[in-house]
Structure 1
């Protein structure tokens, strides 16, 4: 993944944490679904990880990385682009299913 990372445009002061630590912290947070403040200290400070995540999100770095990784995986045949739709995920709204509406009463028809 290192060749896909952006090159700093201007020199800045050295970070206390490596890019590797911060990216691993971001990956941990996304995988765990935890709040930013719960990132373990081995990955650096949560604020540094969040700042890197937001900066790369704003400038499109994450999108470029994902596109490049997908292209590399597709070229080696590791991705199948088949889409399968199952009826268990296609749900209708309750009103489409013929549910009774509140307030509207229809008289029943007498049996003939």
Structure 2
């Protein structure tokens, strides 16, 4: 999880405690708190099973400066992971075609 100004103290504490993060996320979803009102009806049995099987320990806080440093190290992989279209670079130079004399 990464944001321009990093995680606030409440979110930081939840990320550090995956069990609490799981409970809080589910409670907010079920009650429609924290901007989740439109999702309340979407908490189906199937989706709840996916939620219950998710390992919330996989969620880590990523400092923006680290994300930018990783991007600078491997721009191609960063773009692939985050589904970003990389800037197009100039086309390679066209190879010089051999002359008729060189083909013989």
Kindly indicate which of the two structures has a greater share of residues assigned to helix.
Answer: 2
Does TM, normalized by the shorter one, top 0.5?
A: no
When the two structures are superposed, what TM-score results if normalisation uses the length of structure 1? 0.23
Name the structure, 1 or 2, with higher relative contact order (CA <8 Å, separation 6+).
Answer: 2
When the two structures are superposed, what TM-score results if normalisation uses the length of structure 2? 0.24
